[in-house]
Structure 1
């Protein structure tokens, strides 16, 4: 019962809830984008009208710029039977089918659905579900062997989950192609727990009118179960490698490690074992001795499904002690999934003339390269660290924690997360990053390598500043630091400062 004199406030409705409303948003967005392109008008849409979600709006704008026809799509890409079987065997997803079927399809009382499992490139490797529904899906090209990427079939659940690397739903007219408006797709990415590499996506599709809200969470849970199964298999493989390595380690003179192909330690003798060694992404060179950040110079020898690593006498560095928070087995070291490989101790004293390059050319695989007196380094970044470093690279005068929180979350009060992540970054990068405000050191030369399509810049990010930066790059009003100017465009300032587009 409503209390006398008390008014109730209905929550603000930010996104359309029905397929009919979504269809109106879809048609209006395409029409207004075409009109702006014809007049070269960059004025944003009326914010008082319904707007698509940021991820959907960015996808629509990207596909419109690519010239994808919302009525026809692009030429379909289909794998042959032999290629499908090859990808099934090498994807690492094959062992997961029983748990996924049991979790997603064999549940009573749920509406008819199609389960599709795609690899990291968006190829549908398996597709199961109710026969009549699958026949309907075949008519829009949603079948085994099809490559379900935005460039071919527009905005869809599989492509959205692979780009954003988080669970995503594309409902009804959120699809870019009009032929898909009667469908809703929910999808979640699957990562290899051993390497962190994206290996595929799990998707549930069905009629838009019958999809239940809980299916997105169900799909996300199934992806976590799949990763748990992969983790259990990795631990079993490590145990097998440890058994094979035990006799060899007993005969080795001096300290040694045995790690699997992803760098996870199976066994150690004579030194504190790190949880994981960060191995070169490009593989080992032909040199007899290799340098590893946490161990120094090492001799590397192949062993079964892994490597025998033997440190040699070190000249300037020594392995970090066990339990050191900045050491290889500490929360900020190589054992951390988004660690930067123990750069801090060396780089803190080598900032003068150092060159930092943020490589964002490959969507979903940001990397950081550092070149200085201590050597050259290249390491994978977590999405959050990539966002922070991009914002600091484009604003060399620095940003406060509140400004960074506003740029990432649209909420300047969320400073705790920002400070925690920057503290972790500064622990590794040392003097390369300054604070009060947060910024790159003045003596550091910073460059950013971006993708060819501006809308591929950190596609997993929905931060307001990152979205504005994408739009500015697409419109030619800004450019990334360290990139050559376009014809007729003024060079960037010598400071490397490239201001973010205004909110």
Structure 2
């Protein structure tokens, strides 16, 4: 097969391919081994599905229904391009007995439209609006895998991880915010084996690009988009500034919640927030709801919304600025915006992961750039004063006596990482992260 992203090359017998894939799927679910000729993209997805403990007999759960679904769809950015999706794909879906589906960045189906008979069949496997079809819950499937990989995907018949989905074939492509590049969701075409043609994948890709172009035309000016400003770098208690200029100093827990919701403008469910905030599995949803109720009182009734939990207005954050600048290679500008590690005292699992990725990304960019001034600024900052890798790089590009002396000190200090009761705290930020900041 010349293109691993295309399910069937022209001339391939679909029936024979289905038989081979079913045998391969049964081998994988029984023994965990992938037999040829399963495509690499599918094999990798099967492994991720198994790693997420997805059962081959699982059913999709409906997370948003009735009023919750309607409110969420109305506010979602992809609602603005649904008329375009219907114009480009609606007739094709109805006439071909296919379905047009649109999901958010979490794999939640927001719209499922098309041939009525096909919709009835899809309803039986909960391929319905409001259901979650992420790869981590429903295994290999085009919309879920497309948002997991952030690239167009075609899934044919028994390539699906869930057995009840294997009579179907689908192709999906991710859709991004044209200004920020943020993943918004995916557009999908689902139906029978006829969709395994390479043209189906190219079709949804073209529709996704058209949607991004439409969003770019509809996007407001940058100065009109952000009504909340969140500062969370280098401080344990974040500062939120509203569009009216009101400044709110947040508690540590509220700071963590705001950081996570700023990172996920599409919203997070209660279960997702619970896992993101608490290491202790004994913490109950009641505790989280009480914390969110207190946060709502602090922010005001119109800022924090629920089902899923999300902020009513866009947020411009200092850590988001650093991420965007690093993503475009603007290292100097990113360094200027970096005020320190994100909520350095936080132990919330998701915040720790974001902090580590952001700080490591900033360090790696500085080391790769090799600019002596940028390296010196980092090395002399509280979070960089014990960063051995940065000091070594700085000594290479600016071997002054003070720099070389500090490098010798760090080499001596970090060469014996054992204290009186075992290993001491180590790593470039250990000392800094142990001190409170505000």
TM-score, structure 1 normalization: 0.48
- CA–CA separation in structure 1 for the residues paired with 2:141 and 2:348: 23
2:43 equivalent to 1:26? no
Q: Matched residue of 2:129: which SS?
A: coil
2:88 equivalent to 1:88? no
2:78 equivalent to 1:122? no
Report the equivalent of 1:171. Answer: 156
1:99 is aligned, of 58, 80, 84, to 84
Give unpaired runs (5+ residues) of structure 2.
9-16, 233-237, 250-312, 379-385, 392-421, 429-438
Report the equivalent of 1:266. Answer: none
2:224 is aligned, of 260, 266, 270, to 260
Say whether the 8 Å CA contact 1:166–1:189 is kept in structure 2: yes
**How many Å apart are 1:336 and its aligned residue?**
6.8
**How many Å apart are 1:431 and its aligned residue?**
3.1
- CA–CA separation in structure 2 for the residues paired with 1:138 and 1:150: 19
2:81 equivalent to 1:56? no
Q: 1:168 to 1:422 in 2, by over 3 A?
A: farther
1:448-467 superposed matches below 5 A: none
Say whether the 8 Å CA contact 1:333–1:342 is kept in structure 2: no
**How many Å apart are 1:211 and its aligned residue?**
3.3
Report the equivalent of 1:68. Answer: 54
1:189-208 superposed matches below 5 A: 189-208=174-193
Q: Matched residue of 1:342: which SS?
A: helix
Q: Matched residue of 2:58: which SS?
A: coil
- CA–CA separation in structure 2 for the residues paired with 1:360 and 1:429: 33
Name the Cα RMSD after superposition: 5.2
1:188 is aligned, of 173, 179, 186, to 173
Count of aligned positions: 304
Give unpaired runs (5+ residues) of structure 1.
1-9, 34-44, 239-257, 264-277, 290-304, 309-327, 371-377, 393-420, 434-439, 446-489, 497-503
Q: 1:55 to 1:425 in 2, by over 3 A?
A: farther
Q: 1:187 to 1:69 in 2, by over 3 A?
A: same
**How many Å apart are 1:94 and its aligned residue?**
1.6
Report the equivalent of 2:333. Answer: 342
- CA–CA separation in structure 1 for the residues paired with 2:79 and 2:27: 42
- CA–CA separation in structure 1 for the residues paired with 2:155 and 2:44: 13
**How many Å apart are 1:175 and its aligned residue?**
0.8
2:240 equivalent to 1:284? yes
**How many Å apart are 1:429 and its aligned residue?**
10
Report the equivalent of 1:245. Answer: none
Q: Which has the higher strand share?
A: 1
Q: 1:127 to 1:74 in 2, by over 3 A?
A: closer
- CA–CA separation in structure 1 for the residues paired with 2:74 and 2:7: 41
Q: 1:231 to 1:15 in 2, by over 3 A?
A: closer
Q: 1:283 to 1:90 in 2, by over 3 A?
A: farther
1:400-439 superposed matches below 5 A: 430-431=374-375
- CA–CA separation in structure 2 for the residues paired with 1:441 and 1:146: 46
Taking CA–CA contacts closer than 8 Å with sequence separation of 6 or more, which of the two structures ends up with the larger relative contact order? Answer: 2
- CA–CA separation in structure 1 for the residues paired with 2:111 and 2:192: 19
1:39-54 superposed matches below 5 A: 45=33, 49-50=35-36, 52-54=38-40
Report the equivalent of 2:217. Answer: 232
Say whether the 8 Å CA contact 2:170–2:195 is kept in structure 1: no
Q: 1:283 to 1:23 in 2, by over 3 A?
A: farther
**How many Å apart are 1:494 and its aligned residue?**
6.6
Q: Which has the higher helix share?
A: 2
- CA–CA separation in structure 2 for the residues paired with 1:102 and 1:56: 31
